[in-house]
Chains A and B, each alone.
Chain A
Amino acid sequence: MTVVVPDLAVAESAGAGTGRLRLEALTKTFASRTGTVTAVDAVDLDVSPGEFITLLGPSGCGKTTTLRMVAGFEDATSGQIRLDEKVIDSMPPQRRPMAMVFQSYALFPHLTVGENIAYGLRLRRRSREEVATSMRMALTSMNLVGLEDRSPHELSGGQQQRVALARALVVQPKVLLFDEPLSNLDAKLRGSMRAEIRRIQRMFEITSIYVTHDQDEAMSMSDRIVVMNQGRVEQVAVPGEIYLRPASVFVADFIGRANFIEVVPESVSDGRAVVHALGQRLTAAAHPTVSANDDNAYLMARPETMKLTPVTDGRTGIGVVLRSTFHGPAVDYEIETTSGTLAVTDPGADPREALAEGTNVNVRIDPDRAYLLTRD
């Protein structure tokens, strides 16, 4: 066996302006019994220094494989990974200036909390004082003071999570990688850890790639979200845009809930289209692929962007209330219309005044928050 002294000069302090990560046509195929499976299909991505990017998608969409290629745990079949313009494809994981927070935390069970955090520092042959200083800072910033002599299994899930984060942070990586780090925590803790991770990431301005299948997590944490499906990137955008201007039916459907109403646009100009939907004529933003008289278009409207008005005095409306469900913060309705069954949310409704099932209603779509896209 050989003793490879890692070239840790690369791994030295990040500092501002570094940590630009570029994936160029990154592809990974696996051989399987039936042929080859493309797990990651020509993914292009440009991550600015200090940016927090989330890879979001259903399981098997290739997000974790992409992350593991960045970390160096998987070799790319083709394509390139550049860190600060330098191609790092052939660099083994231990020499990449990155640190990962694992889903299982992967804390070393035979080491104490302090030794876990110091592990990477000792590898970098830091002096005893330096290790002590960095560790104290990490413990303080992660709220772990007093736990340094504990064993990992004596800690709660949230504390283990913070140790894992501290262990990754102290080596001052240029890129932080997160592999579904919160999926083992309960819902409440998950919320506070999200804020914690984001706070730390902003404080140190470290480029971060975060993998999750939880859209809430992606929405609340990311500078930009990369939605992936079947190995391909469906859309890269800021959370608001992903939500209200999804690039495809898949994205719209995966993130939050969406109603898709079949429409034929009358005219399209400057990215805006005029359509008839649910007895309403409206002008809404449209995806570039949508053209006039396109019989392949959907009007996408989120449930909370639609408003119901009951139709009284015996007339019929555009739809009928099929079911109403009280959720605490909102009442959800299912409305049967000629354009299919729609989901409509009435936030802040008083459950005692909810519309009864069978009520005739009209539906109004907020044109500013509706979006036209092409069917897949």
Chain B
Amino acid sequence: MTALIHEPELAPGPAAPPRRRRRRRLDLGIRLLLVACVGLVAVGSVVPLVAVLAAAFGPEALPRYARFFSSPVDLTILRNTLVLGGLVGLCGTALGFLFAFVQTRLAVPGKRILHVVALVPIVSPPFAVATATVVLYGRRGVISNGLLGLEYDIYGLDGLVFVLSLSLFPVAYLGLLGMLRGLDPALEEAAMNLGASRWRTLRTVILPLLAPGLVAPFLLLFVEAIADLANPLVLGGDYTVLASRAYLAVTGEYDTTSAAVYCVILLVPSLGLYVAQRYWLNRKVRTTITGRPSGSVHLIDNWVRWPIFGLALLAAALIVSIYGTVLLGSVTRVFGVDNTLTLEYLREVVAGVGREAVLDTVMFAALATPIAAVFGLVIAWLVVRHLRRAAGLLDLAGTLGVAVPGTVLGIGFVLAYRPERWLGPVEVFPSLVGGSAIAGGAAAIVVAYVIRSLPAGQRTAVAALTQIHPQIEQASTDLGAGPLHTFRRVTLPLMRPALLTGLSYSFARSMTSISTIVLLVTPETKIITSQVLSAASTGRYGVAFAYCTVLTAIVLAAFALIRLIVGAGANLNRVATDNERPKR
């Protein structure tokens, strides 16, 4: 994502109407949209965040810092968190690079399938990977113990790094894939032509050029890994991290002050690295300097490709084994032990006690998805096209939903929206979270879904918008269309692919969101992911797998539905590149 902001160029010449000179006066419709976006972001992430900060810097909280930094237990938790983030960042980025390299530079068969396998974890319901990993590779694991006779203790750092790297690497993969594809092949040819071997070309040309590209996914994975709550709960064992510690403080100890303190300590690296990551991405991307990319990519076709390919296949096999286990686990009595087929678990989820959770979750996600996608699009449009100084701020505010760890956001919701707000005898703001919340806390859950899934759509939209030459929109304005009309008639149709991605991502993220939601569910509102958590932590793996399978099926069905409604859309790349490249 690049947030290059195109200064709206004024119409040339003295013929420009004088009102254009009164710059900074935004169109009324745009101002309304801006207010709506700011309102959503304020309610959804700024207020909860402020609530956390207020609690964390309240008078009773201050002594907790001294205790934190003098307590070996707490310091170990902090170290655990950072080590986990660093390792997942490294492994995930390396895995992403491996898959991207195989995809773009190796002459091997089956690359399409490998691509699909690499994308599977995007839709992964939380716990699915962790639970399946325990079943397959745990102490009594089907593969580790049953096949290899090992007694490997998967709980702890090793298991977490394994599971988180596998679940998060697709982000790195997609980013690096785009970069490797965007590299002018002539650069590699130039190196080869000057006498560099393939290995030398990789080392002296490809990797240095990709270095900025490697830093961004590393930081992003770092942030996501330290924010993750689901996997430490299932797989952490006695390896405690800040997110799970804060969660326990709220749900087990009812100590919101300590929770807020843990949150702030978690926030520092999360926000810091998230901002660092954005900085990296916003730097001028160094690809080709002049001219059109020329030449063709030379695929590696000697024996070297096989070990690399083998490594990627191994990773792919792990992914397939894990997701296969989820599927098989949902239709067998105890997968690996008693492989009798049974529909009992699926029936429980679809027709039994799980029915309510499934319906609630789908309804909330279906409500949140269009809101998130539209807001993502609108924020992107405002950021790229209409705002100047405030653009960076709004862009950052919109992506707070991923920058702030879900647990922190959830605790913020609890702190900000659980108590009713009274002004004298009048209740001005009802409780939104907790047992006495209106609509069983549904409102808070939908807002949390929107905030958590907004950034995905926003980022795709920003990327897509920066690709559309502003002159296309200027042409529409020039013909007399107002900015909103232009957006609806020109920009939006061009961004249909981005909208499609935004909607799909938003829905998938909502459906699989856990770390915020787990703090917001009430007895009246059940959410699939929190059901999975309770099933997995009580050892009812069959039910957990059944939930995951149903969830995945719903997400895939929704993808198809969204595609049907929005339409696949015109190929944006063509429009963009035709305008960016110099004419001959």
Residues of A with Cβ closer than 8 Å to B?
Answer: 1-6, 8, 11, 68, 71-73, 92-96, 98-100, 102-111, 119-120, 123-124, 152-153, 157, 160, 167-168, 171, 177, 179, 183-184
- A96–B192 Cα distance when bound, in Å, is 9
Q: Is B294 interfacial (CB 8 A cutoff)? A: yes
A94 lies within 8 A of B289 (CB): no
Indicate whether A2 sits within 8 Å of B304 (C-beta atoms), given known contacts A104-B288, A105-B289, A152-B289.
yes
Q: Contact check: which of B186, B194, B289, B291 meets A123 at CB < 8 Å?
A: B194
Q: Tell me which residues across on chain A come within 8 A of B70, comparing CB atoms.
A: none
Q: Tell me which residues across on chain B come within 8 A of A96, comparing CB atoms.
A: 193
A153 lies within 8 A of B192 (CB): no
B291 lies within 8 A of A171 (CB): no
Q: Contact check: which of B187, B200, B291 meets A108 at CB < 8 Å?
A: B187
A6 lies within 8 A of B289 (CB): no
Write the nearest CB–CB distance from A248 to chain B, whole angstroms: 26
- A8–B295 Cα distance when bound, in Å, is 24
Q: Which residue of B lies closest to A97 (CB)?
A: B195
Q: Which residue of A lies closest to B584 (CB)?
A: A183
For chain B, residues 173 to 227, give those with C-beta under 8 angstroms from any C-beta of chain A. 184, 186-187, 189-200, 202, 204-205, 208-209, 211
Q: Contact check: which of B195, B199, B289, B304 meets A109 at CB < 8 Å?
A: B289
Q: Tell me which residues across on chain A come within 8 A of B292, comparing CB atoms.
A: 103-104
Write the nearest CB–CB distance from B272 to chain A, whole angstroms: 26
Indicate whether A94 sits within 8 Å of B298 (C-beta atoms), given known contacts A100-B190, A183-B584.
no
A73 lies within 8 A of B289 (CB): no
Indicate whether A4 sits within 8 Å of B192 (C-beta atoms), given known contacts A106-B187, A108-B187, A152-B289.
no
Q: Is B582 interfacial (CB 8 A cutoff)? A: yes
- A5–B304 Cα distance when bound, in Å, is 15
- A93–B194 Cα distance when bound, in Å, is 8
A104 lies within 8 A of B195 (CB): no
Q: Contact check: which of A8, A72, A110 meets B286 at CB < 8 Å?
A: A110
- A15–B264 Cα distance when bound, in Å, is 70
Q: Tell me which residues across on chain B come within 8 A of A4, comparing CB atoms.
A: 197-199
Q: Tell me which residues across on chain B come within 8 A of A11, comparing CB atoms.
A: 195
Count of chain B residues with Cβ under 8 Å from any Cβ of A? 38
Q: Tell me which residues across on chain B come within 8 A of A68, comparing CB atoms.
A: 295
Beyond known contacts A100-B189, A153-B289: 7 more, CB 8 A cutoff: A1-B304, A1-B308, A6-B196, A102-B190, A110-B208, A119-B204, A167-B194
Indicate whether A109 sits within 8 Å of B190 (C-beta atoms), given known contacts A94-B195, A94-B197, A123-B195.
no
A98 lies within 8 A of B197 (CB): no
- A153–B285 Cα distance when bound, in Å, is 12
Q: Which residue of A lies closest to B305 (CB)?
A: A1
For chain B, residues 453 to 507, give those with C-beta under 8 angstroms from any C-beta of chain A. none
- A92–B196 Cα distance when bound, in Å, is 10
Q: Tell me which residues across on chain B come within 8 A of A107, comparing CB atoms.
A: 190, 289
Chain A interface SS verdict (over half): loop
- A351–B370 Cα distance when bound, in Å, is 69
- A124–B196 Cα distance when bound, in Å, is 9
- A99–B196 Cα distance when bound, in Å, is 12
Please, what's the 1-or-0 string for B552-584, where 1 marks a CB less than 8 Å from any CB in chain A? 000000000000000000000000000000101
Indicate whether A184 sits within 8 Å of B289 (C-beta atoms), given known contacts A100-B190, A104-B186.
no
Indicate whether A100 sits within 8 Å of B193 (C-beta atoms), given known contacts A1-B308, A3-B199, A110-B286.
yes
Q: Which residue of B lies closest to A121 (CB)?
A: B194
Write the nearest CB–CB distance from A73 to chain B, whole angstroms: 6
Q: Which residue of A lies closest to B288 (CB)?
A: A104
Q: Is B340 interfacial (CB 8 A cutoff)? A: no
- A258–B211 Cα distance when bound, in Å, is 55
- A315–B302 Cα distance when bound, in Å, is 79
Q: Which residue of B lies closest to A4 (CB)?
A: B197
Q: Tell me which residues across on chain B come within 8 A of A93, comparing CB atoms.
A: 189, 192-193
- A194–B387 Cα distance when bound, in Å, is 46
A106 lies within 8 A of B190 (CB): yes
Please, what's the 1-or-0 string for B153-190, where 1 marks a CB less than 8 Å from any CB in chain A? 00000000000000000000000000000001011011
A123 lies within 8 A of B187 (CB): no
For chain B, residues 274 to 305, give those with C-beta under 8 angstroms from any C-beta of chain A. 286-296, 298, 302, 304
Q: Contact check: which of B197, B202, B287, B582 meets A184 at CB < 8 Å?
A: B582
- A367–B196 Cα distance when bound, in Å, is 56
Q: Which residue of A lies closest to B303 (CB)?
A: A2
Q: Tell me which residues across on chain A come within 8 A of B304, comparing CB atoms.
A: 1-2
Indicate whether A1 sits within 8 Å of B202 (C-beta atoms), given known contacts A73-B189, A102-B190, A183-B584.
yes
- A278–B291 Cα distance when bound, in Å, is 48
- A120–B195 Cα distance when bound, in Å, is 7
Q: Tell me which residues across on chain B come within 8 A of A171, comparing CB atoms.
A: 194-195
| Residue among B191, B192, B200, B202 with most chain A CB within 10 A | B192
Q: Tell me which residues across on chain B come within 8 A of A98, comparing CB atoms.
A: 193
Q: Tell me which residues across on chain A come within 8 A of B289, comparing CB atoms.
A: 104-105, 107, 109, 152-153, 160
Closest 9 CB pairs of A and B: A104-B291, A120-B194, A106-B186, A106-B190, A4-B197, A109-B286, A123-B195, A184-B291, A110-B208
Q: List 25 A-B contacts (CB under 8 A).
A: A3-B199, A6-B195, A6-B196, A73-B192, A73-B295, A93-B189, A96-B193, A98-B193, A102-B190, A102-B295, A104-B288, A105-B290, A106-B186, A108-B190, A109-B287, A111-B208, A119-B194, A119-B204, A120-B195, A123-B194, A124-B195, A152-B289, A160-B289, A167-B194, A183-B291
- A108–B288 Cα distance when bound, in Å, is 8
Q: Contact check: which of B184, B286, B296, B298 meets A106 at CB < 8 Å?
A: B184
- A172–B416 Cα distance when bound, in Å, is 72
Q: Which residue of A lies closest to B204 (CB)?
A: A119
B186 lies within 8 A of A103 (CB): yes
- A71–B195 Cα distance when bound, in Å, is 11
Write the nearest CB–CB distance from A199 to chain B, whole angstroms: 23
| Residue among A105, A106, A110 with most chain B CB within 10 A | A106
Q: Tell me which residues across on chain A come within 8 A of B287, comparing CB atoms.
A: 109
| Residue among B287, B289, B296 with most chain A CB within 10 A | B289
- A123–B292 Cα distance when bound, in Å, is 27
| Residue among B186, B202, B290, B584 with most chain A CB within 10 A | B290
Q: Tell me which residues across on chain A come within 8 A of B208, comparing CB atoms.
A: 110-111
Q: Tell me which residues across on chain B come within 8 A of A119, comparing CB atoms.
A: 191, 194, 196, 204
Q: Which residue of B lies closest to A124 (CB)?
A: B195
- A11–B211 Cα distance when bound, in Å, is 31
A123 lies within 8 A of B196 (CB): yes
B294 lies within 8 A of A184 (CB): no
Please, what's the 1-or-0 string for B376-404, where 1 marks a CB less than 8 Å from any CB in chain A? 00000000000000000000000000000
| Residue among B193, B286, B295 with most chain A CB within 10 A | B193
Q: Which residue of A lies closest to B210 (CB)?
A: A110
- A95–B194 Cα distance when bound, in Å, is 9
- A322–B202 Cα distance when bound, in Å, is 62
Q: Tell me which residues across on chain A come within 8 A of B197, comparing CB atoms.
A: 3-6, 94
